[in-house]
Amino acid sequence: MILSLWKQQLGRVPDTVWDRAEPLHMLILADNDLEEIPDRIGQLKHLRTLDLGHNRLTDIPDAIGELADLSDFLYLHDNRLASLPASLGRLTKLRYLNISDNRFAHLPDVVTHLSGLIELRASDNQMTALPDSIGRLTKLRELHVRNNRLTSLPDAVGELHNLRHIDLRGNPLERLPDVLSALPRLDKLDLRWVTTLQMPAWIEALEARGCLVYR
């Protein structure tokens, strides 16, 4: 069952969300001026998609780790988050996570425990670096980190053998690791609005094999 309460100016999550008899598979609470999510979110054991985007959240409750079936989408973008609970790491079925437009100074290490991730969006934050542990996300196909403060990428991105698309637009990059050139499935590298980078020699070889490099 799907419950959409998008843009209802709720201010708080109504109790009717938790008291429904039918199991919820998708819950949309986006754009409601929410400042907190109750621990009762953990009751929604059948959720596959949860949209908490465009709110005023400063934290996410530990109870989110109880949503073991959350597999399709988790939207946390456009909030006021600077950290994520360690319990999030239990959501190993999750394939899509959006934490863009928040206040992250670094990518939370717990994100790299989400071994099922196929797409990660962390654009428009304040991240100065990505952790070496990002290499754990071996199923990742898309990495979006536009408009952060990244000056480089860790060599661990070379372990992301399924990566197809990486969006680095608007970062003050000074170097790119050579391991990017060896990623076997990379077909889009977006470097637009990057004015600080001297292109490495291997960029042309990457383009010659069919990878689209936007610069």
Q: Are 122 and 100 in contact (CB under 8 A)?
A: yes
Spatial distance between the Cα atoms of 34 and 51, rounded to a whole number of angstroms: 12
Judge if pTM exceeds 0.75. yes
* DSSP three-state, residue 115: coil
Spatial distance between the Cα atoms of 24 and 96, rounded to a whole number of angstroms: 19
Answer yes or no: is pLDDT of 21 > 90.
no
Spatial distance between the Cα atoms of 90 and 100, rounded to a whole number of angstroms: 21
Per-residue confidence band for 13, with pLDDT thresholds at 50, 70 and 90: very high
Distance of CA 69 to the CA centre of its chain: 18
Answer yes or no: is pLDDT of 42 > 80.
yes
Answer yes or no: is pLDDT of 195 > 90.
yes
Per-residue confidence band for 20, with pLDDT thresholds at 50, 70 and 90: confident
Per-residue confidence band for 190, with pLDDT thresholds at 50, 70 and 90: very high
Answer yes or no: is pLDDT of 9 > 90.
yes
pLDDT of amino acid 22: 83
Per-residue confidence band for 19, with pLDDT thresholds at 50, 70 and 90: confident
pLDDT digits (tens, 9 = 90+) for 157-182: 999 999 999 999 999 999 999 999 99
pLDDT of amino acid 51: 98
Spatial distance between the Cα atoms of 159 and 209, rounded to a whole number of angstroms: 20
CA distances from 43 to 8, 80, 135 (A): 22, 24, 32
Kindly provide the b/e burial profile for residues 142-155, where b requires at least 16 CB atoms within 10 angstroms of the residue's own CB: bbbbbbbebebbbe
Answer yes or no: is pLDDT of 70 > 80.
yes
Spatial distance between the Cα atoms of 37 and 44, rounded to a whole number of angstroms: 13
Question: Which two structure tokens, joined as six digits, stand for 183?
Answer: 């990623």
Spatial distance between the Cα atoms of 181 and 202, rounded to a whole number of angstroms: 6
Q: What is the mean pLDDT of the chain?
A: 97
The domains of the chain, with CATH numbers, are 1-103 (3.80.10.10), 125-215 (3.80.10.10)
CB neighbour list of residue 11: distance below 8 Å, 6 or more residues apart: 32, 33, 34
- Ranking 17-21, 27-31, 78-82, 128-132 by mean pLDDT, the lowest is 17-21
Mean pLDDT of 33-62: 97
Number of other residues whose CB lies within 10 A of the CB of residue 11: 11
